[in-house]
């Protein structure tokens, strides 16, 4: 009887230890697989919340290699909404990739759910760089940031502030609707840098909005954040797939900024080469081609511009010739500046 009790006690203690060892600390990694593509589930802390995503490692693990840090665009998620397909292409081309969901969205933590804040999302990139810089497989001198649509603005801002960034890709960039005034004394850039690097961005004065649908077919009865039919078609087709964790609702929190503040003012502050993949006939509000051209013209770093047909969402359809053209241009750029 005593022997049985001892055996049960050993099993019980062992179970407790196993449970303790399974707790997930900051920056944990778990292996996973989609098809033949191996990746690790990752998580890291940003602005008090745990962000989650995937780390795709290059096949040659004998040497440190370059990495692309990716976050999806406006409200989309990493599972099945095309950013993951770009990540797989980059990995096939010999790049490691860190792809994650923004705070409050998808598989990442954060409250209120579905709330977007430009500054908080931009800070996610900074903290992702911190995580990836400590990984033995990564060459810390070869880090790129990637953004699409709204997140192209965020990747761009990070590229103007963080010297660890060595290349920037902005795909279907949405830089706004207005050509800015000059930041003559640099005070607006100083504000942007201080805001992005503060420990608690949401402690700054800000406003919030009520939730509303992201897309809708009834703009009179149920107005939505995005009004174009192309947006409705893409979001319902891709976001509506099983397992994406996408939800057709959004709200916004907006940090109070100085008068005349405009992200576009910082084009000459960019620290690294940049590729802009631009829709020649972009229909989305906030993706004004004149503003995009203004940004490009004022960048002093090496820069490349690739035109893609199909409107804002054409290169987000996979598989498609537009996706192939877009991904090839991005891989060529990464090969040029990161390898």
**DSSP codes joined into one string, 222-257:** S--S---HHHHHHIIIIITSTT----S-BEEEEE--
Residue 36 is encoded by which pair of tokens?
């033949």
* Non-local CB neighbours of 153 within 8 Å, separated by 6+ positions: 118, 122, 147, 170, 173, 174, 175, 176, 263
Helix 83-92 / helix 321-338 crossing angle, nearest 10 deg: 50
Per-residue pLDDT tens digits of the chain, which is 339 residues long: 444 434 333 333 343 333 333 434 446 556 676 666 789 999 999 999 999 999 999 887 778 999 999 999 999 999 999 999 999 999 999 999 999 999 999 999 999 999 999 999 999 999 999 999 999 999 999 999 999 999 999 999 999 999 999 999 999 999 999 999 999 999 999 999 999 999 999 999 999 999 999 999 999 999 999 999 999 999 999 999 999 999 999 999 999 999 999 999 999 999 999 999 999 999 999 999 999 999 999 999 999 999 999 999 999 999 999 999 999 999 999 999 999
Q: Which residue has the tokens 């792809």?
A: 99
Q: Is 61 helix (H, G, I), strand (E, B) or coil?
A: coil
Beta bridge partners of 55: 40, 98
* Per-residue model confidence (pLDDT) at position 60: 78
At residue 62, the pLDDT reads 77
pTM for the complete prediction?
0.90
Query: Which residues sit opposite 176 in a β-bridge?
Result: 287
Kindly report the number of other CB atoms within 10 A of residue 326's CB atom: 24
CA atoms within 13 Å, Cβ hemisphere of 197: 11
The values of phi and psi at residue 172, to 5°, are: 40, 60
Write down the pLDDT at residue 14: 41
The residues with which 169 forms a beta bridge, in sequence order, are 146, 275
The pLDDT assigned to 152 comes to 98
- Integer Cα distance of 64 and 142 in angstroms: 10
Would you state the structure tokens that stand for residue 77, as one six-digit string?
């998620």
pLDDT of residue 35: 66
Tell me how far apart the alpha carbons of residues 229 and 59 are, in angstroms, rounded to a whole number.
40
Q: How far apart are CA 98 and CA 71, in angstroms?
A: 8
Q: How many CA atoms lie within 13 A of 41 on its CB side?
A: 12
Instruction: Retrieve residue 55's tokens.
Output: 């780390």
- Whether residue 94 contacts residue 60, with contact meaning beta carbons closer than 8 Å, is answered with yes
CB 274 within 8 A of CB 304: yes
Strands (E), the chain: 29-34, 37-46, 49-56, 65-71, 96-100, 115-116, 138-148, 165-171, 206-208, 251-255, 274-279, 303-308
All structural domains of the chain: 24-198+263-338 (3.40.50.1820)
How far is residue 163's CA from residue 144's CA, in Å, rounded to a whole number? 11
């Amino acid at each position: 009887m005593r022997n049985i009790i001892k055996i049960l006690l050993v099993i019980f203690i062992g179970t407790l230890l196993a449970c303790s060892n399974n707790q997930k600390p900051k920056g944990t990694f778990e292996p996973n697989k989609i098809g033949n593509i191996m990746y690790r589930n990752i998580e890291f802390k940003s602005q008090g919340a745990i962000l989650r995503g995937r780390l795709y490692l290059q096949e040659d693990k004998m040497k440190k290699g370059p990495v692309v840090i990716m976050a999806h665009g406006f409200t989309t998620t990493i599972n099945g909404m095309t950013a993951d397909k770009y990540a797989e292409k980059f990995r096939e081309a010999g790049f490691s990739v860190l792809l994650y969901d923004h705070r409050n969205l998808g598989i990442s933590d954060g409250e209120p759910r579905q709330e977007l804040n430009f500054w908080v999302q931009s800070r996610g990139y900074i903290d992702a760089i911190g995580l990836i810089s400590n990984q033995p497989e990564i060459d810390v001198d070869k880090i790129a940031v990637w953004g699409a649509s709204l997140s192209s603005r965020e990747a761009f801002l990070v590229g103007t502030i963080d010297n660890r960034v060595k290349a920037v890709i902005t795909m279907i960039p949405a830089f706004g609707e207005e050509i800015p005034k000059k930041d003559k004394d640099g005070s607006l850039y100083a504000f942007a840098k201080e805001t992005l690097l503060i420990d608690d961005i949401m402690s700054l004065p800000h406003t919030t909005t009520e939730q509303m649908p992201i897309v809708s077919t009834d703009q009179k009865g149920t107005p939505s954040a995005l009004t174009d039919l192309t947006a409705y078609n893409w979001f319902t087709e891709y976001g509506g797939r099983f397992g994406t964790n996408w939800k057709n609702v959004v709200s916004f929190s907006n940090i109070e900024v100085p008068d005349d503040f405009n992200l576009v003012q910082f084009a000459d502050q960019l620290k690294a080469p940049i590729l802009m993949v631009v829709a020649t006939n972009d229909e989305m509000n906030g993706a004004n081609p004149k503003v995009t051209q203004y940004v490009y013209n004022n960048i002093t770093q090496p820069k490349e511009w690739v035109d893609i047909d199909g409107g804002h969402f054409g290169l987000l359809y996979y598989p498609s010739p537009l996706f192939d053209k877009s991904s090839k241009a991005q891989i060529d750029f990464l090969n040029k500046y990161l390898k």
